[in-house]
Copies of this chain bind each other. A is one copy, B any other.
């Protein structure tokens, strides 16, 4: 981790004046809990963690840091995957977890306002108590926070139907680098009064401002849910069926794709009985949910698909969970093979089938000893490319895969963001002109470069 450059005692005093001395944590044993991400992949160092409890304190903390040129890494639940919340170069950590107030559900608007430190699971629970749902859902829901999800534009499991955080974000409160508070939390659906700062800050990974509150649009809560697993004789059969289902079934909440090698691995790793007696090339896991039972609608749509070799359908929760395991256990099963290179990419839907074929060839050409595992969200064009059998610090496979993504007009980061880990490939998805404009916006809003200086921009 290297040595931590000691912090100017005057800065600590100024920060303690704002948040109180107990909330400026400098004890290395306590600071350590904030300097390494949960995967252990990104380890930084920091002289101090500041823990404000209110927006005004965040503003005053940033004003101090901006005046004194102290660099700051904002941090929510620390569940990011690209090192965006880790103080890699000795920055101060600005923890937002104490901004944990959550408002009542506004039933007329079907919205809710939550502080940056509120876990996603708490937003979901509050929505359910109000008879609604918060549809952004991800595995890290108990730790990941509202502020972090806004800063990273978190996508999640139901993106297909509801979009990601940016689509749910109807208002924001954020603090700029120099401590000005931007507050626009009215949650108005139609509001053409100048630039949409909420959507700009969303996905900017803490480089433009620190999110302190968010107004979030909720969704209906559906009591009827059906899951189906479909088998196909080819990769393109599965992707074409995914496209057809997306076109015709409005109640779809998931449209997941995986393949024979991954399914075999999952069944072996967890001693699961395979879903069908035969093996097939490609599989789609489909889930629909609605106010009334969507089984008939889904069955009719499946009946009209071409190339379906086998089908299993489930409505009961226990049987649905069994079907989901074939998809969800991919991550753990692959981790059992070895530490994978994980590439979270999107390609245009029309290129999905070609990409799935070519990426195996490309990885094999680059690293003949490697194994490629593919699964993902077929409805979004989002593929999780996992490669095992390659040294963790060997980037050749990453280069090959991400260049193929760029060749197909895809995105090198579907959900996880750029952080510090993906900066060196940013040029594959964004042009020099785009990067220059992003830099100009960054410099305009944070002229001293104190906000998350290692993230996003090269």
Contacts and interface: CB of A to CB of B under 8 A. Distances in A.
Contacts of A189: 159, 346, 380-382
Interface string A222-254: 000000000000000000000100111010000
A434 interface: yes
A304 to B, nearest CB: 13
Interface in A172-218: 176, 180-184, 186-197, 199-200, 202-204, 208
Please classify how large the interface on chain A is, using the bins under 10, 10 to 19, 20 to 34, 35 or more.
35 or more
A436 interface: yes
A257 to B, nearest CB: 14
A443 B443 CA distance: 11
A349 B380 CA distance: 32
A348 B192 contact: no
Interface stretch (A272-280, A310-318, A332-340, A404-412): A404-412
A164 interface: yes
Given A110-B247, A189-B346, A348-B186, A438 B195 contact: yes
A21 interface: no
A413 interface: yes
A183 B437 CA distance: 12
B434 A445 contact: no
Nearest to A439: B444
Nearest to A208: B195
Nearest to A347: B188
Given A190-B415, A348-B188, A382-B190, A441 B445 contact: yes
A195 B441 contact: yes
A426 interface: yes
A457 B193 CA distance: 10
A417 B192 contact: yes
A152 interface: yes
19 contacts: A107-B243, A107-B350, A108-B350, A109-B348, A109-B350, A152-B192, A166-B199, A167-B167, A176-B433, A176-B437, A182-B433, A182-B434, A183-B431, A184-B430, A188-B346, A190-B346, A193-B430, A195-B204, A444-B444
Which 6 A-B residue pairings sit nearest by Cβ, starting from the closest?
A444-B444, A108-B350, A190-B414, A191-B411, A108-B349, A193-B429
